[in-house]
Structure 1
Protein backbone atom coordinates (compact mmCIF):
# COMPACT_ATOMS: atom_id res chain seq x y z
CA UNK A 1 0.00 0.00 0.00
CA UNK A 2 1.61 3.30 -1.03
CA UNK A 3 -0.14 5.11 1.82
CA UNK A 4 1.75 3.40 4.63
CA UNK A 5 4.85 4.60 6.38
CA UNK A 6 6.44 1.19 5.84
CA UNK A 7 6.85 0.43 9.54
CA UNK A 8 3.70 -1.66 9.98
CA UNK A 9 1.77 1.39 11.17
CA UNK A 10 -1.77 2.24 10.01
CA UNK A 11 -2.32 4.04 6.71
CA UNK A 12 -1.24 7.69 6.70
CA UNK A 13 -3.65 8.61 3.91
CA UNK A 14 -0.75 10.05 1.88
CA UNK A 15 1.86 8.62 -0.42
CA UNK A 16 5.33 9.06 1.11
CA UNK A 17 7.51 11.69 -0.56
CA UNK A 18 10.47 10.59 -2.61
CA UNK A 19 13.33 12.40 -4.31
CA UNK A 20 13.68 12.03 -8.07
CA UNK A 21 17.06 12.48 -9.71
CA UNK A 22 17.25 13.34 -13.41
CA UNK A 23 20.57 12.98 -15.19
CA UNK A 24 21.44 14.87 -18.34
CA UNK A 25 24.71 15.29 -20.14
CA UNK A 26 26.56 18.11 -21.78
CA UNK A 27 28.93 18.67 -24.65
CA UNK A 28 32.08 20.77 -24.29
CA UNK A 29 33.86 21.53 -27.55
CA UNK A 30 36.82 23.58 -28.69
CA UNK A 31 37.45 24.82 -32.23
CA UNK A 32 41.11 25.22 -33.15
CA UNK A 33 43.03 25.90 -36.35
CA UNK A 34 44.11 22.54 -37.78
CA UNK A 35 47.61 23.75 -38.64
CA UNK A 36 48.52 26.00 -35.73
CA UNK A 37 46.23 24.68 -32.98
CA UNK A 38 45.24 28.31 -32.24
CA UNK A 39 41.70 28.61 -30.77
CA UNK A 40 39.17 29.99 -33.25
CA UNK A 41 36.34 32.18 -31.99
CA UNK A 42 33.09 32.67 -33.87
CA UNK A 43 32.90 29.16 -35.35
CA UNK A 44 29.25 28.07 -35.74
CA UNK A 45 27.89 24.56 -35.38
CA UNK A 46 24.59 22.73 -35.78
CA UNK A 47 24.06 19.90 -33.29
CA UNK A 48 22.15 16.83 -34.48
CA UNK A 49 21.48 13.21 -33.63
CA UNK A 50 20.14 10.12 -35.36
CA UNK A 51 16.34 9.90 -35.38
CA UNK A 52 14.78 7.37 -33.00
CA UNK A 53 18.21 6.52 -31.57
CA UNK A 54 19.46 5.13 -34.90
CA UNK A 55 22.62 6.07 -36.77
CA UNK A 56 22.14 8.82 -39.38
CA UNK A 57 22.36 8.01 -43.08
CA UNK A 58 24.56 10.26 -45.21
CA UNK A 59 24.39 11.32 -48.86
CA UNK A 60 27.41 9.87 -50.70
CA UNK A 61 27.88 12.97 -52.86
CA UNK A 62 27.46 15.74 -50.29
CA UNK A 63 28.35 13.99 -47.05
CA UNK A 64 25.30 15.62 -45.46
CA UNK A 65 22.71 13.68 -43.42
CA UNK A 66 19.79 12.31 -45.43
CA UNK A 67 16.48 14.03 -44.62
CA UNK A 68 14.34 12.03 -42.22
CA UNK A 69 17.27 10.19 -40.61
CA UNK A 70 18.29 12.95 -38.17
CA UNK A 71 16.88 15.47 -35.70
CA UNK A 72 18.47 18.89 -35.26
CA UNK A 73 18.79 20.66 -31.93
CA UNK A 74 16.88 23.80 -31.08
CA UNK A 75 18.85 25.59 -28.37
CA UNK A 76 18.05 28.27 -25.83
CA UNK A 77 20.16 30.18 -23.34
CA UNK A 78 18.76 29.79 -19.82
CA UNK A 79 20.50 31.58 -16.94
CA UNK A 80 23.62 31.97 -19.10
CA UNK A 81 23.75 28.28 -20.01
CA UNK A 82 23.09 26.98 -23.54
CA UNK A 83 20.63 24.08 -23.38
CA UNK A 84 18.73 21.90 -25.83
CA UNK A 85 15.15 23.17 -25.83
CA UNK A 86 13.78 20.73 -28.40
CA UNK A 87 14.41 18.92 -31.67
CA UNK A 88 13.31 19.51 -35.26
CA UNK A 89 13.50 17.63 -38.56
CA UNK A 90 14.22 20.97 -40.29
CA UNK A 91 17.89 21.72 -40.92
CA UNK A 92 16.86 25.22 -42.02
CA UNK A 93 15.28 25.88 -38.61
CA UNK A 94 18.35 24.55 -36.81
CA UNK A 95 20.65 26.71 -38.98
CA UNK A 96 19.11 29.96 -37.74
CA UNK A 97 21.56 32.03 -35.68
CA UNK A 98 19.62 31.55 -32.42
CA UNK A 99 19.99 27.74 -32.71
CA UNK A 100 23.70 27.60 -33.52
CA UNK A 101 26.46 26.72 -31.09
CA UNK A 102 29.10 29.46 -31.40
CA UNK A 103 32.66 29.23 -30.11
CA UNK A 104 33.91 32.02 -27.86
CA UNK A 105 37.21 33.86 -28.30
CA UNK A 106 38.94 30.92 -26.60
CA UNK A 107 37.43 28.55 -29.20
CA UNK A 108 35.19 26.88 -26.61
CA UNK A 109 31.47 26.16 -26.86
CA UNK A 110 29.14 24.01 -24.79
CA UNK A 111 25.58 22.80 -24.56
CA UNK A 112 23.75 21.15 -21.66
CA UNK A 113 20.60 19.08 -21.32
CA UNK A 114 21.51 16.16 -23.56
CA UNK A 115 20.17 12.65 -23.06
CA UNK A 116 22.58 9.74 -23.21
CA UNK A 117 23.41 8.86 -26.81
CA UNK A 118 25.42 9.86 -29.86
CA UNK A 119 25.51 13.42 -31.17
CA UNK A 120 27.11 15.06 -34.19
CA UNK A 121 28.29 18.55 -35.07
CA UNK A 122 28.13 20.19 -38.48
CA UNK A 123 30.19 23.35 -38.89
CA UNK A 124 28.29 25.96 -40.87
Structure 2
Protein backbone atom coordinates (compact mmCIF):
# COMPACT_ATOMS: atom_id res chain seq x y z
CA UNK A 1 0.00 0.00 0.00
CA UNK A 2 1.24 3.50 -0.79
CA UNK A 3 0.01 7.07 -0.48
CA UNK A 4 0.11 9.02 -3.78
CA UNK A 5 0.75 12.27 -1.88
CA UNK A 6 3.62 10.93 0.24
CA UNK A 7 7.14 12.00 -0.77
CA UNK A 8 8.68 8.77 0.55
CA UNK A 9 6.15 6.66 -1.37
CA UNK A 10 7.16 8.61 -4.48
CA UNK A 11 10.82 7.83 -3.73
CA UNK A 12 9.99 4.12 -3.32
CA UNK A 13 8.13 4.23 -6.66
CA UNK A 14 11.11 5.84 -8.39
CA UNK A 15 9.21 9.05 -9.15
CA UNK A 16 11.66 11.11 -7.06
CA UNK A 17 15.38 10.28 -7.16
CA UNK A 18 17.41 9.49 -4.06
CA UNK A 19 20.98 8.52 -3.24
CA UNK A 20 20.28 4.88 -2.36
CA UNK A 21 22.48 2.92 0.02
CA UNK A 22 20.28 -0.19 0.38
CA UNK A 23 17.15 -1.71 -1.10
CA UNK A 24 15.32 -5.01 -0.80
CA UNK A 25 11.69 -6.06 -1.18
CA UNK A 26 10.66 -4.48 2.15
CA UNK A 27 13.04 -1.59 2.88
CA UNK A 28 14.78 1.32 1.21
CA UNK A 29 17.66 3.29 2.72
CA UNK A 30 19.04 6.52 1.29
CA UNK A 31 21.05 9.60 2.23
CA UNK A 32 19.04 12.44 3.79
CA UNK A 33 18.95 15.53 1.55
CA UNK A 34 19.41 17.78 4.61
CA UNK A 35 21.94 15.85 6.72
CA UNK A 36 22.49 16.63 10.40
CA UNK A 37 25.75 14.68 10.54
CA UNK A 38 28.53 13.65 8.15
CA UNK A 39 26.64 10.38 7.54
CA UNK A 40 22.85 10.66 7.74
CA UNK A 41 20.68 8.00 6.14
CA UNK A 42 16.97 7.28 6.33
CA UNK A 43 15.64 3.73 6.46
CA UNK A 44 12.02 3.41 5.39
CA UNK A 45 9.58 0.57 4.83
CA UNK A 46 8.31 0.34 1.28
CA UNK A 47 4.75 -0.01 2.56
CA UNK A 48 3.15 3.24 3.68
CA UNK A 49 2.68 3.44 7.43
CA UNK A 50 2.36 7.02 8.61
CA UNK A 51 4.08 6.70 12.00
CA UNK A 52 5.42 4.30 14.59
CA UNK A 53 2.25 4.57 16.68
CA UNK A 54 0.32 2.93 13.82
CA UNK A 55 2.37 -0.27 13.55
CA UNK A 56 1.07 -3.66 14.62
CA UNK A 57 2.28 -7.27 14.71
CA UNK A 58 2.17 -7.54 10.91
CA UNK A 59 5.01 -4.99 10.72
CA UNK A 60 7.29 -6.82 13.15
CA UNK A 61 9.57 -8.36 10.50
CA UNK A 62 10.51 -5.15 8.71
CA UNK A 63 10.80 -3.19 11.97
CA UNK A 64 13.40 -5.71 13.11
CA UNK A 65 15.12 -5.54 9.74
CA UNK A 66 15.37 -1.74 10.06
CA UNK A 67 17.23 -2.07 13.36
CA UNK A 68 19.53 -4.80 12.05
CA UNK A 69 20.28 -2.77 8.92
CA UNK A 70 21.39 0.39 10.77
CA UNK A 71 24.75 -0.91 12.10
CA UNK A 72 25.47 -2.72 8.84
CA UNK A 73 25.02 0.48 6.82
CA UNK A 74 27.04 2.59 9.24
CA UNK A 75 29.94 0.12 9.00
CA UNK A 76 29.71 0.11 5.17
CA UNK A 77 29.66 3.92 5.15
CA UNK A 78 32.81 4.16 7.28
CA UNK A 79 31.27 5.10 10.62
CA UNK A 80 33.59 3.62 13.26
CA UNK A 81 32.95 5.54 16.48
CA UNK A 82 29.23 4.94 17.02
CA UNK A 83 25.99 6.22 15.59
CA UNK A 84 22.56 7.44 16.65
CA UNK A 85 19.11 6.20 15.58
CA UNK A 86 15.94 8.29 15.83
CA UNK A 87 12.31 7.64 14.91
CA UNK A 88 10.22 10.80 15.29
CA UNK A 89 6.54 10.04 15.88
CA UNK A 90 3.72 12.55 15.53
CA UNK A 91 3.78 16.33 15.83
CA UNK A 92 5.07 16.42 19.41
CA UNK A 93 7.76 13.91 18.44
CA UNK A 94 9.06 16.19 15.69
CA UNK A 95 7.85 14.11 12.75
CA UNK A 96 7.84 16.10 9.51
CA UNK A 97 7.22 13.42 6.86
CA UNK A 98 4.30 11.15 7.69
CA UNK A 99 5.80 7.90 6.41
CA UNK A 100 7.54 5.95 9.14
CA UNK A 101 11.31 6.39 8.84
CA UNK A 102 14.38 5.90 10.96
CA UNK A 103 17.21 8.44 10.90
CA UNK A 104 20.67 6.96 11.35
CA UNK A 105 23.39 9.54 12.11
CA UNK A 106 27.13 8.86 12.15
CA UNK A 107 30.32 10.85 12.41
CA UNK A 108 31.11 13.83 14.65
CA UNK A 109 28.03 14.89 16.58
CA UNK A 110 26.80 18.36 15.65
CA UNK A 111 24.11 18.08 18.34
CA UNK A 112 26.70 17.55 21.11
CA UNK A 113 27.55 20.54 23.25
CA UNK A 114 31.19 21.48 22.84
Same structural fold, with TM-score higher than 0.5 when normalized by the shorter chain: no
* Structure having the larger proportion of residues in helix: 2
* Structure having the larger proportion of residues in strand: 1
Q: TM-score, normalised by structure 2?
A: 0.29
- Asked which structure has the greater CA Rg, the reply is 1
